[in-house]
Structure 1
Amino acid sequence: MNARRTLRIDTPWVSGRIPVRSVVVSLVLAGVIIAAGAATMTIGAYDVSVVEVLRALVDPSTDIDTRQVVFEWRLPRVLFAMLCGAALALSGGIFQSLTRNPLGSPDIIGFGIGAQFGVTLTMIVLELNTYLFKAAGALVGGLITALVVYFLAMKHTMSSFRLIIVGIGVSAGLGSLTSWILISVSVEKAMMAATWGAGSLASLGFDQLLPAAAVFALVVLFAVPLHRTLPVLEMGDDAATALGVSPARTSLSAMVIGVALVALVTAAAGPMSFIALAAPQISQRLTRSNTPMGLVPVMLTGAALVVASDGVAQLLLVPVGVVTVSIGGLYLAWLLAAQYGRRS
């Protein structure tokens, strides 16, 4: 199939052209998410087959125990995995497009660690453990870290290399502070923070999902214009200015939106490393796009990665963050080796 073929959309609300390959990739990813989600909902102490899972989701007259297990306990976890993956992938796409570097994800440049540090302070020091307070702590921690990294890396013009190097340094410093806090408190508090810090989707239900989904939808609404402006910014500040895009305003709004997406996930499920790094690059290669800001394909790629990772995590009886770190670490090593090979 020719990658340049496009579908034209012309409605009173939206118009434009969409690459056929992006549509096909998105449909395939949606199928992967559905299949992986259905398979994941069969895992657990209560034995349920895939057929019973599908019947419980669509037929209210299904066995009450099966429907409770599937619909009330396991479905929210799968939906949360989709939300977390989509949010992290979109955040990664924003920062990689902003820095024009495949290593420019919030995991590498420290914004994820900043959000994690903010939640740690909120939980351990302030002893505020509700979702609202953790979300506020994650957002404030991530934004402050982003501003610190931005101003330390700024020298006449923004350099993605300086931003990544400064971000790695700030991330190491915040990681040390987090460790210092954990060894300074009681064992109970340290264990609570460590359990959350592993990144887990367990015990998350519709009570947490609905407000998180509402916030996610609002942030995505603000992120939609970046789908057009960030690829223009990738051509350089001078070219973007000539085309009517303000580099400073676009960079600031992109940074705030990207941090908000990381904060949303961190507050709900804890840190899930490397999804923001890997998903945009995988999506870009699947769609053969010139930018990691593919929006729908990027979010579907992230959702598929986290849903599949959570299924593996349940089989291994470990938090999903452990699986994403393992997979992401291998991907990061491959990415660094590939970049080094190209430069050599």
Structure 2
Amino acid sequence: MTQLTAPVPKVESLRQPVRRIRVAGVFVLACVAIVVLAAVHLTQGTSSVGASDLVRLVFGQGTDNAANVLVASRLPRLLAGVLVGVALGVAGAGLQSLARNPLASPDTLGVNSGAYLAVVVVAAFGVSLPVLPAGGVAFVGGLAAAGLVLALSAGGSTGPTRLILAGSAVAMALGGVTTLMLLLFREETVGTFAWGAGTLVQTDLHAVTQMAPVVAVGIVGAFLLAANLDILTLGDDTAAVLGVNVRRTRVLTTLVTVLLSAAAVTVAGPVGFVGLVAPVLIRLLAPLVPGLLRHRVLLPLSGLAGFLVVLTSDVALRAAFGGQAGVEIPTGIMTMVVGAVVLIWLARKHRDSGPSRSPAGTGSGLRSRRTFLLVAVGLVVLLIAAVLTAMLTGDAFLRTGDLVNWINGRSGRAITYVLDQRFPRVVSAVLCGAALAIAGTTVQAVCRNPLAEPGILGITGGAGVGAIATLILLPSASIWLLSGVAAAAAVITFGLVYLISWRGGLSSDRLVLIGVGVSSAATAIITLLIVATDPWNLSLAMTWLSGSTYGRTLPQVAPVALALLVLTPFIVHVRRDLDLLALDDDVPRILGVRLERTRLLALLASALLTAAAVSAIGVVGFVGLVAPHAARALVGGRHARILPVAALLGAILVSLADSLGRTVLAPAQIPAGLLTALIGAPYFVYLLWRTRVPVR
């Protein structure tokens, strides 16, 4: 059982009478803030038209240049902010009430990711759609993603951690497909990377005027459902007794909120976390303003708060980086940073009301020593086969005789060149897969959550920030400098997550939630670094972020080998402590395990292993999730057996993904990280589905 402070509406809050004067005062203050921010917003831009020019224009004394700038650029941007902010604010409030979960939003439910993927797929195939049909495509994609996440998390009622994990899995899978489309269809999808972070840049009012009626319909639909949503907060059984059709209310609310989110994505791309932040801001005022949580008040105020969040982020962006930054840097980066901070704050308030336990259905029974040996031998054979396959396949298929001649130094020039290029890639895939699997096994044991991995804890994101910054600032940096910066950034990120998560002890659920928030902030920083650089760095960074072994050399793999040689013996040494940590907090203490010290060192070792792998081949997702869980299913729950089996599985998975990526679309290549995400995310979804709690 878990709970969050500042939750969705409580029964007592709904019983309180609406204080009309206080509520009206909140509306007035919000409107005044909007007017002031809108006035400041209109004065910002790349042209020399300033506040005085706009004031003269209001009184009929302005120049044609000022009028053209206002109508063609600044007003469309402002109105786009209005539309996006209001739509996402209302959608977020509706989703949080639907899921009875303060962490529900179009982002955490995968709506934005699904809508974005649908739009990119259409663009990739060269189909140019008008605004309204494009909105329909986005609606279908967002609805499918939201339906899947809500099904996996039992409508969000099983707690914030499961909702976030389900949303992260679906979003990562959809993000992997989206990135694959962007890489394979670069010309057709030009400009969609920055748009994918949420930008308010508009060349005219066409998109806004087309989507405004759709948003209006969505808002009206939300208001019509307000009374039922009030009753639904009392619980499904109570609502049914009071005459509310619970299933129909849930379906209609999902449709309305996805419609609003899709309209926002169509206009400005997926602007991150506005739907999370806006309702939270209103709920923070609820203790001071009785009746504020009534949905007839909550929904419009959340819309105004959403507009304030978008407007404030856009004003702050151009004030900090200049008018040109408003064109080059998506506003969604700023909202994502703000949203990540709010998510971390909410997670910081998270507390357990009972002992932590692994999710139901994830435990593993004991296996015999013979079973372990058979599995280990079988995996070694599979790894050898995977390595041979990787050496022989690619844009040019070779024979085993060519490989034997190359090993003996008797191959021809062409064969030698091909195998000299492939060998470092195969070694890097095998070593990085093993490192990520060992790191994931350790993280799952410490967090007592088989659905956790280094990427979800923000470690991968931190290493990515360090490596991307190094690639951009020092393109010719050595692999040791790149690895050192990535390792330092990963350790700093890990330390930040650990310290923020500490609250009289370490809650595994709180650690995961804060890790997701920090990972989101890291993603925003990476996107900022990428879009602020030249197109060459954009292509390089996108490929690296997708986890590619392309162009690897043996010296670049050395840091991973060193990390495995140094850190694996330590993790193996504490294998029995990991067995105890996976149970609960009490048993390790009783048996003399120094709980916090062991946790800290184990997670630190995981962070360093992850950083070494990230610096070598980039971001490869889900290996740290799939390999340990599969190992646990094969050989039981003892880490003396899980660690070697997980390492073998990780090496096989990344090696096969790299081989497929080099072969399927040869000479074009699919980064290994995208394939592991496409393989791992469905498996993650399967785990969540298998352990779901049905909604009655």
| TM-score category (smaller protein) | 0.7 to 0.9
Report the CA distance between 1:60 and its aligned residue.
3.6
Q: Give the superposition deviation at 1:168.
A: 1.0
Residue identity opposite 2:433 in structure 1? G
1:312 aligns with 2:660: yes
CA distance in 1 between partners of 2:475 and 2:415 (Å): 37
Match of residue 529, structure 2, among 170, 181, 184: 181
CA distances 1:6-29 after superposition (whole Å, capped 9, x unpaired): xxxxxxxxxxxxx22222111111
Structure 2 CA distance for partners of 1:248 and 1:293, relative to 1, 3 Å: farther
Q: Secondary structure at the match of 1:107?
A: coil
**Farther-moved stretch of structure 1 (238-247 vs 303-312):** 238-247
State the alpha-carbon separation in 2 of the partners of residues 32 and 191 from structure 1. 34
Q: Secondary structure at the match of 1:256?
A: helix
Q: When the two structures are superposed, what TM-score results if normalisation uses the length of structure 1?
A: 0.88
Structure 1 residues 307 and 343 mapped into 2: Cα distance closer, same or farther (>3 Å)? farther
Q: Is the 8 A contact 1:128 1:134 kept in 2?
A: no
Tell me the amino acid that sits aligned with residue 47 of structure 1.
F
Does 2:682 align with 1:330? yes
Give 1:263 shift: 0.5
Structure 1 residues 251-260 or 220-229, which shifts more? Answer: 220-229
For residues 62 and 33 of structure 1, the distance between their equivalents in structure 2, rounded to whole angstroms, comes to 24
Give the match for residue 247 of structure 1.
Answer: 595
Aligned counterpart, 2:46: none
**Amino acid paired to 2:654:** V
Counterpart position of 1:226: 574
Q: 1:144 to 1:214 in 2, by over 3 A?
A: closer
Measured at CA, do residues 211 and 91 of structure 1 come closer, stay the same or move farther in structure 2, by a change above 3 Å? closer
Bigger shift: 150-159 or 30-39?
150-159
Distance 1:162 1:236 in 2: 15
Alpha-carbon distance between aligned partners in 1 of 2:491 and 2:606, rounded to the nearest angstrom: 10
| 1:56–1:67 CA contact under 8 A, matched in 2 | no
Q: Give the structure 2 partner of residue 52 of structure 1.
A: 402
In 2: Cα distance, 1:110 partner to 1:225 partner: 25
**CA shift for structure 1 position 292:** 9.3
**Matches of 1:267 and 1:43 in 2, distance apart?**
25
* Residues 1:286 and 2:634 aligned together: yes
Q: Which moved more, 1:152-161 or 1:250-259?
A: 152-161
Residue 102 of structure 1: how far off its partner (Å): 1.1
**Partners of 2:454 and 2:558 in 1: CA distance:** 25
User: 1:21 pairs with 371, 380, 390, which one?
Assistant: 371
TM-superposed deviation, 1:187: 2.0
Match of 1:113 among 461, 474, 477: 461
Distance 1:80 1:327 in 2: 19
Q: Kindly report the root-mean-square deviation, in angstroms, between the aligned alpha carbons of the 2 structures.
A: 2.3
**Structure 1 residues 39 and 231: CA distance shift in structure 2, 3 A:** same
Q: Give the drift of 1:270.
A: 0.5
CA separation in 1, counterparts of 2:442 and 2:560? 20
Deviation at 1:311, TM superposition (A): 1.2
Cα distance change of structure 1 residues 238 and 45 upon mapping to structure 2, 3 Å threshold: closer
SS of 2:679's equivalent? helix
> Cα distance 1:313–1:46, how it changes in 2: closer, same or farther (>3 A)?
closer
The DSSP-based 3-state class of the residue aligned with 1:104 is coil
Unmatched 5+ residue regions in structure 1?
6-18
Is 1:56–1:66's contact at 8 Å kept on the other side of the alignment? Answer: no
Question: Hey, what does 1:30 align to over in structure 2?
Answer: 380
TM-score (norm 2): 0.45
Per the TM alignment, residue 44 of structure 1 is displaced from its structure 2 partner at its CA by: 2.9
Residue 79 in 1 paired to residue 427 in 2?
A: yes
Whole-angstrom CA distance in 2 between matches of 1:262 and 1:224: 17
What letter corresponds to residue 258 of structure 1 in structure 2? S
Give the counterpart of 1:94 among 442, 446, 453: 442
Shift of 1:58: 4.8
Aligned pairs, how many?
328
2: CA distance, partners of 1:67 / 1:315: 19
CA shift for structure 1 position 93:
0.2
SS in 2 for 1:271: coil
- CA apart distance, 1:73: 2.2
Deviation, structure 1 residue 147: 1.5
1:134 aligns with 2:486: no
Conserved 8 A contact 2:453-2:625: yes
Pair 1:66–1:126, CA change in 2 (3 A)? closer
Cα 1:212–1:164 shift into 2, 3 Å: closer
Higher relative CO (Cα under 8 Å, sequence separation at least 6) belongs to: 1
Which has the larger Rg?
A: 2
Bigger CA drift: 191-200 or 84-93?
191-200
Q: Confirm whether residue 196 of structure 1 aligns to residue 544 of structure 2.
A: yes
Answer whether contact 1:105 1:276 (CA < 8 A) is retained. yes
Give the CA deviation at 1:57.
5.6
Task: Provide the C-alpha distance between the structure 2 equivalents of 1:243 and 1:128, rounded to a whole number of angstroms.
Answer: 51
Which residue matches 1:277?
625
Amino acid of the residue matched to residue 506 of structure 2?
Answer: M
1:340 alignment partner, SS class: coil
Deviation at 1:192, TM superposition (A): 2.2
Distance 2:558 2:514 in 1: 36
Instruction: Determine the C-alpha separation between the residues in 2 that align with 1:232 and 1:342.
Output: 31
Q: Which moved more, 1:102-111 or 1:287-296?
A: 287-296
The 8 Å contact of residues 283 and 292 in structure 1, kept in 2 or not, is answered as: no
2:393 aligned with 1:43? yes
Q: Contact between 2:579 and 2:637, CA under 8 Å: does it hold in 1?
A: no
Offset of residue 273 of structure 1: 0.7
CA contact (8 A) 1:93 1:293 kept: no
| AA matched with 2:371 | R
Give the structure 1 partner of residue 154 of structure 2. Answer: none
SS of structure 2 residue aligned to 1:219: helix
Identity %: 29
Aligned CA distance change for structure 1 residues 320 and 292 (closer, same or farther; 3 Å):
farther
Deviation string 1:94-128 (CA, Å, 9 cap, x unpaired) is 00000000122111121111111111222224556
